[in-house]
Amino acid sequence: MPVANGCVRRSPRTVESSRKKRSVLATEQQSSERPKIGSSCKKAKNELPFNLKEVEAANGSTFFVGEPVPDDVARQRWSHHYLQKGAERMNWNSTHIFDHDDEVILNVKCHYLKANVSGFHLNLGDCVHVKGEKGKQDYIGRILEFFETTKGENYFTVQWFYRAEDTVMKDQAGCHDKKRLFYSDLRNDNFLDCVVSKATVVQVPSSVELKFRPTPSHHLYYDMKYSMEYSTFQIMESAYSNRESRKSEMSLLDLYCGCGGMSTGLCYGAKAAGVNLVTKWAVDLDEAACQSLKLNHPEVEIRNEKAEDFLELLKEWSKLCDQYVISACRSGNRNLRTSKLEETKHKPSAQRSSKEFEVLKLVSICYGDPMDSGKHGLKFKVRWKGYGPEEDSWEPLEHLLNCKERVKDFVRDGFSTKLLPLPGDVDAICGGPPCQGISGYNRFRNVDAPLDDERNRQILVFMDIVQFLKPKYVLMENVVDILKFAKATLGRYALSRLVEMNYQARLGIMAAGCYGLPQFRLRAFLWGCHPNEKLPQFPLPTHETILKGGAPVEFERNLVAFDEGQPRMLEKAVVLEDVLSDLPIVTNEENREKMKYKKAPQTDFQRCIRMKNYESLESARSNPILYDHRPRRLGEDDYFRISQIPHRKGANFRDLPGVIISSDNIARLDSSVERKLLPSGRPLVPDYALNYWNGKSVRSFARLWWDEVVPTVLTFPDCHCQAIVHPEQDRVLTIRETARIQGFPDYYRFCGTVKEREVLRKEANRAKDARGVEDEAIEITMVEASKHSILVKIGRKVTSQMECYSCD
């Protein structure tokens, strides 16, 4: 049947990548989820015009110019377009470029080098506007071939460019320059009559310093390539030539650091790769988390403050450094003098009279309101002459105008020691902005405007800090709901911000269980990479895993997995017995901070997790002291309930006396027996357990078992709604057990109360997940080595420095 004139067979909005990843983790994408926009005007397979009128309708006002390319030359140059003997058709899939549903036109008569469309001449390599969908902009592509079929149809092969809104960024691409395009490898054959007009598209260098591109107003430009595999934005390969020499030490800033899990994991991975990645600065609002980080990493400059206050502090610090260091050095100003501060506003002690007090020195700096005075701004902590640290006070800069020499000394010392980072000082930023506003466990999420939710706005702050400091590398992690909630608004926003700042970017979904942890735990990881550096890949899984959910269908190609048919050698899944079986027996009443191990390590995981800092598995010596192996003490009622739960797999509150399970799998009280009460008078089977998930939950007071994994670990473990009861002991998991499940080494200690330490344990996920990108430390530090797996495989003999530390 005839084909509608000038309709595009495939386009950047309808073509999906031909490469298909499939693994035990991947969710099969339904055919209904594969849009075929404009398919009504797509040429029907094997349907060819059969008379002159139909040829004229297909070709419109187009014709080729000049003589055909000699047949032998054409067959050699464009062999994919010439029918092989015995072949009926060939898919573009064989070129690894085209969608697997899109067929190469094979009934080719001859190729040409030039064409005429509506009076304008086109050459191979020209860029053109191609007819778009109704009500939308035209597509843009580059002409790769002109050819005529044996039935007289005029075709061209087009290589597509993407507009920002046609990529994964979609409606979050509004901040991008409308003239900016993204190169792609996607190409296909379309009727020559689809061409609307010529377009001028130029390649420009990518730079984080350039906000506006120096191109004529009518020109379109591209500086990056886009691929749907891992939603990758990457500079053109030729742009790698001017990469800087590598430093002996790389600096890391850990935002929303918690107790340091993510930065600790990254530094371990870098150390294993032979690179000295050092955490220089860390920021978190939680005081106990900052204390834990300081306990384990005393060398780190830790800021216990809001991330937005930290950003404002960085801006003010940059101004101070310019004034007292950079500008002062240029001007040679040495006329600043020490002065005194009037007592009327500053009283280090209650006994002070009307005399003046002299500033001895400034000892710290912050942006905020540390004294709860109601005034937010830049503050210095002052040490008064003749008084001790307990009399230090926070003073605003305007109260220190007569103490410029002290301010200058503080700033100069801070500048030389890099007390705070300036733009260009940070090699890498990592962090996981708080996710409570999008987590599936939060029933009060703002679906309509997720970026307006204060609990989600930290993603904006994170990106603002990246924009100010301009690091070489960025690694952001978050819950997978960032790619599910509100049409993935937050995930698209984060990716769009990086690309808008001209950073290369790659988005992946990784499961902790695939890298040697006894939990499934899917997390989203977003790489950002300066255009002068090489964008890291995501390492492939090293372990089998036990399924506990899956990735969003739309982001199936972001799941880090093996390609279909790719060879793989996976270790067995790590389960709870591999992780916990060597730990001493403790009770619900255990309160010791430390104790001795009772057993030698039973598994490779245990040998690895008991290593001292930066040891290799071959030389590992187990630390004889075990810290934080104590549970959060249960109240009498909950302890009695747990003691009644059988010591077997799958046991939970449904096994308590008086509970029956109906045919619809709903737990109910047995009305034929009297409801059993606890010594306190409360019911043995609480109402909340019966009502949770409308009676279908099996989590309340549920025991874990040795051959299982856990789906994830929440901020505050609660046996009322989570399976966190030890397999054989009548208590919940200890701090140390949960820390191991999440990847923290045994020597890593936690500060605060048991409850606070319970909250901190969740940060260990970042330790494991960060070591999960351990191999990318190779690329973080630009070591051009062969690809390694995401973690060092447990059970495999360590043979290189790359494998010196990992419990995966």
As a whole number of angstroms, the distance between CA 104 and CA 87 comes to 12
Cα–chain-centroid distance for residue 84? 46
Of 779, 750, 288, nearest to 530 (Cα)?
779
What phi, psi does 78 have (nearest 5°)?
-125, 50
E strand or H helix that includes residue 346: none
43 close to 135: Cβ distance less than 8 angstroms: no
Residue reference for tokens 């792609």: 184
The tokens for 672 are: 């034929």
The tokens for 806 are: 């990992």
Residue reference for tokens 């050095």: 329
Cα–chain-centroid distance for residue 481? 12
As a whole number of angstroms, the distance between CA 31 and CA 38 comes to 16
DSSP for 128-178 reads EEE---TTSPPEEEEEEEEEEETT--EEEEEEEEEEGGGSTTGGG-TTS-T
The 3-class secondary structure across 390-445, one letter per residue, is: HHCEEEEHHHHCCCHHHHHHHHHHHHHHCCCCCCCCCCEEEECCCCCCCCCCCCCC
As a whole number of angstroms, the distance between CA 115 and CA 125 comes to 12
String of b and e for 355-394 (b: at least 16 CB within 10 Å)?
eebebeebeebbbbeeeeeeeeebbbbbbbeebeeeebbb
Of 543, 420, 482, 499, nearest to 227 (Cα)?
499
As a whole number of angstroms, the distance between CA 393 and CA 287 comes to 19
What separation in angstroms does the CA of 610 have from each of 96, 582, 592, 597, 769? 46, 10, 19, 10, 18
End-to-end CA distance of the chain: 59
The tokens for 461 are: 């702050």
490 close to 446: Cβ distance less than 8 angstroms: no
Strands 659-661, 667-669: pairing kind: antiparallel
Helix (H, G, I), strand (E, B), or coil: what is residue 483? Answer: helix
As a whole number of angstroms, the distance between CA 804 and CA 611 comes to 10
What phi, psi does 269 have (nearest 5°)?
-60, -40
625 close to 638: Cβ distance less than 8 angstroms: no
Of 228, 187, 161, nearest to 92 (Cα)?
187
Amino acid at 511: A
Helix (H, G, I), strand (E, B), or coil: what is residue 368? Answer: strand
Of 760, 766, 771, nearest to 295 (Cα)?
760
- Sign of the alpha-carbon torsion through 570, 575, 579, 582: negative
Helix (H, G, I), strand (E, B), or coil: what is residue 53? Answer: helix
Cα–chain-centroid distance for residue 325? 37
As a whole number of angstroms, the distance between CA 4 and CA 696 comes to 55
The tokens for 192 are: 């020559």
The maximal CA–CA distance of the chain, rounded, in angstroms, is: 107
Helix (H, G, I), strand (E, B), or coil: what is residue 486? Answer: helix
Active site residues: 435
